């Protein structure tokens, strides 16, 4: 039995095969899925419509439930503006890769598409795409139910001793004082960095975008250390943690 579906989707990942076919990872309202576009088989033959971050409507069919979907039509609704700017591109990549990684085991629900689209739009248009990316990255982690534990507010405190938190204890997933951290894999944030992270986790997004951490290198390294423990390696972060002082 052949089953045709039509969905709106955002292109999260795109992998060209040696055959000329392209495998894309798409994010729709019902979740993340993969599909293949066969070279020369799409009407109009235009695989460029399936570029990264494009907002598309696709028709697909599956012969059986467990088959990779085959795209039979692709309509481009729009490309989010500004994402190919060199100052935006690495951050757009990060948000797409993170959304992909977070939606493997966890059912993040319908809001994921809306949040990722809004994050990408912000990264393309905001004068400070780095601040947008940091805020959205932590927001996505929170949406997936994987947020670190924050004890107290203004300033956040170590849950063991009540001292102001200065590190993100990566394995325990908690903001703590340096003495009660887990050890070498922890990320040092300082009091102001811990406070900025607590704020990003509490939301709203608008506030955390407007008040980014002053030490961004630390903030990226903390995100990287945390994701490594709780989600997996996010390759787009490697470049960002190396580039930031």
Residues that bind Zn ion (CB under 5 A): 158, 160-161, 163, 177, 180
Q: How far is the CB of 161 from Zn ion (least distance, A)?
A: 3
How many angstroms separate the CA atoms of 165 and 240, rounded?
24
Query: Which residue from 72, 77, 4, 74 is spatially nearest to 38, judged by alpha carbons?
Result: 72
- Residue whose beta carbon is closest to Zn ion: 158
| Between 100 and 182, CB nearer to Zn ion | 182
CA–CA gap between residue 173 and residue 45 (Å, rounded): 48
Q: Which is nearer to Zn ion, 92 or 177 (CB)?
A: 177
**Shortest distance, CB of residue 179 to Zn ion, whole angstroms?**
5
- Map tokens 């008040």 to a residue: 211
The least CB distance from residue 175 to Zn ion, in Å, is 10
- Rank residues 76 and 163 by Cβ distance to Zn ion and give the closer one: 163
DSSP 8-class letter at 164:
B
How wide is the angle at C-alpha 134 spanned by C-alphas 128 and 138, nearest 5°?
A: 150
- Nearest approach in angstroms of CB 159 to Zn ion is 8
Least Å distance, CB 138 to Zn ion, is 22
Residues 6+ apart with CB under 8 A from 177: 158, 160, 161, 163, 164, 165, 166, 167
Cβ closest to Zn ion, residue 197 vs residue 227: 197
Beta carbons within 10 angstroms of residue 97's beta carbon: 17
Q: Which is nearer to Zn ion, 86 or 184 (CB)?
A: 184
């Amino acid at each position: 039995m052949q089953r045709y579906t039509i969905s709106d989707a955002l292109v999260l990942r795109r992998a060209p095969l040696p055959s000329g076919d392209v495998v894309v990872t798409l994010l729709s309202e019902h979740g993340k899925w993969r599909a293949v576009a066969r070279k020369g088989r799409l009407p109009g033959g235009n695989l460029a419509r399936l570029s990264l971050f494009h907002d598309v409507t696709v028709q697909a069919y599956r012969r059986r439930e467990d088959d990779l979907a085959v795209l039979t039509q692709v309509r481009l609704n729009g490309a989010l503006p500004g994402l190919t700017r060199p100052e935006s591109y690495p951050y757009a990549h990060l948000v797409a890769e993170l959304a992909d990684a977070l939606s493997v085991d966890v059912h993040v629900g319908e809001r994921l598409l809306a949040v990722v689209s809004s994050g990408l739009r912000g990264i393309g248009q905001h004068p400070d795409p780095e601040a947008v990316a940091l805020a959205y990255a932590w927001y996505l982690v929170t949406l997936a139910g994987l947020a670190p534990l924050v004890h107290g507010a203004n300033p956040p405190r170590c849950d063991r001793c009540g001292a102001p938190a200065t590190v993100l204890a990566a394995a325990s997933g908690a903001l703590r004082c340096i003495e009660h951290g887990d050890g070498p894999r922890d990320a040092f944030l300082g009091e102001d960095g811990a406070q900025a992270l607590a704020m990003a986790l509490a939301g709203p997004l608008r506030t955390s975008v407007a008040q980014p951490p002053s030490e961004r290198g630390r903030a990226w390294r903390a995100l990287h250390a945390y994701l490594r423990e709780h989600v997996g390696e996010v390759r787009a972060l490697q470049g960002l943690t190396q580039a930031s002082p």
